[in-house]
Chains A and B, each alone.
Chain A
Amino acid sequence: MGGYGDVQMIDENGLRMDGRKPGDVRPITIETGVVPVADGSCRMVWGTNEAIVAVYGPMEAHPRKIQRQDRAVIDVAYNMAPFSTTDRIRPGFNRRSREISKVTKDALESVVLLELYPRSKIRVSIEIISAEAGTRCVGLTAASVALADAGIPMTDMVVSVASGKVNDVVVCDLNKEEDNYGEADLPMGVLPNTGELVFLQMDGDLSPEEFKQAWDYNVDAAMQVHKLMVEALKGGANS
């Protein structure tokens, strides 16, 4: 965390710099089928974050050494476009994108019924077009929608949200300033139908009470986001 403890990001009314209350989530729009050539795809705009995810497969896994005889493998590639932030990002993989690809893969592996497709591969490409804190959450959530759009069998969809601590106040869904200058960050991946946890990371310090508060914010926000995901996949057909 940035450690700039004197930067005031919560006003005297308890509102944040962008006018949200501590438990509020940024506005979200979800669209499916945005990449016509892919088997499934999703475009998710979360505040000023924007991610496009394309899913291909299940397909024959190449090279053969990556094949698993009893299940499919998920190949996740998370990438931030060079123009996604104000400072240009050097194109290609780096330590951070490798880490996020791995945690996303691990989270998705817990919901996808991989044993139905032995020796095959499901390719998930996450491209961040615009980044403003919480891109791993946006990428993981959008990947769940894209997998559902591709008809990949899953027991549930993963919804990921991050909460954190700013000026000693626990807040949900951090924006860029809160992420950079806040005191803690707690991204979580939740299965909304069972309440199970499939992904958890933490940066900074939180007391047990603050951790509980952040946890509750994340679970509540995940339920809200899940409703939007379901709406997007159903396309208003049942309303």
Chain B
Amino acid sequence: MNSGPVGLLDNMSNESSADGPRDSRRTLIVVPGEDLGSSEGIEAGHGVLVVGDRVISTKQGRMSRKGDTITVNPLHTRYMPRPGDLVIGHIEGCTNNIWFVDIGAPFNSILPMSLGPAKVEFGGTRKVLDIGDSILCRVQEVEETHQSVVTMKGMGLRKIRSGALDELDPHLLGQLIGKGGSFLREMKMQTDCRIVVADNGRLWIDGELENILEVRKRIESISSEAKIVGVGA
């Protein structure tokens, strides 16, 4: 890498980044508060902020530039729900007509009785889904205040009764799935397991015990490799 101030976009073009020629395997790592250059003609993407006439990074991650948009892809993220996301949630609590679901986001979701898996009488929520149960559901709605509603009405949405659950940072799901789902397909064939990858980074693996352990080992290796700064996507 070139010496001198790192991360200055002033030196960047479509062919080269601030650290020299563009190379997808070696992108520039930036830290919060780092000056990324002048904001002139630049559009701020995820993880950056325009302060005065400068662009600064707000997260630790890999800086990338697509056209005029500068983005910092964080090394660690927390899942932020979006409508339509398939998620795996854990029931954390319930009232007479609502379940509270932990979907791994900064805010718990609610599952109203009307969107539950079966017809429930008022006050009978715990008979259908009890605290500690895991469910496969879909995000129906995210409000401006980040409050979200999930639904279990839909194809394949159900209570999880068998198999194992694992977790992966949401930004690493791309590495697990591969281009067009190739890696995931290969893993499913090799291990003979049913694998459901949810958008919140949780995975449901169902199959023979040793196959489940094999899948978990592979997921663990993706996770630990990504923790080495400078390696990974």
Whether the pair B107, A60 counts as a contact (CB closer than 8 A) is: yes
Residues of chain B lying within 8 A (CB to CB) of residue A72: 106
Of the candidates A117, A191, A233, the one whose C-beta lies within 8 Å of that of B31 is A233
B75 contacts partner chain A, Cβ-Cβ < 8 Å: yes
- Interface majority SS on A: helix, strand, loop or mixed? loop
Whether the pair B33, A192 counts as a contact (CB closer than 8 A) is: yes
Residues of chain A lying within 8 A (CB to CB) of residue B35: 193
Interface residues on B, range: 20 to 34
Residues of chain B lying within 8 A (CB to CB) of residue A152: 59
Residues of chain B lying within 8 A (CB to CB) of residue A151: 59-61, 74-78
Whether the pair A155, B106 counts as a contact (CB closer than 8 A) is: no
Of the candidates B29, B74, B146, B228, the one whose C-beta lies within 8 Å of that of A234 is B29
Residues of chain B lying within 8 A (CB to CB) of residue A185: none
Interface size on A, residues (CB 8 A): 37
Whether the pair B78, A237 counts as a contact (CB closer than 8 A) is: no
Whether the pair B31, A230 counts as a contact (CB closer than 8 A) is: yes
Whether the pair A120, B58 counts as a contact (CB closer than 8 A) is: no
Q: Which residue in chain A gives the minimum CB-CB distance to B1?
A: A238
Whether the pair A155, B49 counts as a contact (CB closer than 8 A) is: yes
Whether the pair B76, A39 counts as a contact (CB closer than 8 A) is: yes
Whether the pair A238, B29 counts as a contact (CB closer than 8 A) is: yes
Residues of chain A lying within 8 A (CB to CB) of residue B230: 234-238
B210 to chain A, nearest CB (A): 25
Whether the pair A238, B19 counts as a contact (CB closer than 8 A) is: yes
Q: Which residue in chain B gives the minimum CB-CB distance to A67?
A: B107
Residues of chain B lying within 8 A (CB to CB) of residue A229: 31
Q: Given the complex of chains A and B, what is the CA–CA distance between A149 and B60 in angstroms? A: 7
**Contact mask for chain B residues 104-136; partner A; CB cutoff 8 A; 1 contact, 0 none:** 001110000000000000000000000000000
In the complex, the 9 A-B pairs of residues with the closest C-beta atoms, listed nearest first:
A237-B230, A235-B229, A156-B33, A58-B106, A151-B76, A120-B106, A154-B32, A153-B58, A151-B74
**B interface with A by C-beta (< 8 Å):** 1, 6, 19, 28-29, 31-35, 47, 49, 51, 56, 58-61, 74-78, 102, 106-108, 145-147, 227-230
**A interface with B by C-beta (< 8 Å):** 33, 39-40, 57-60, 69, 72, 111, 113, 117-120, 148-157, 191-193, 229-230, 233-239
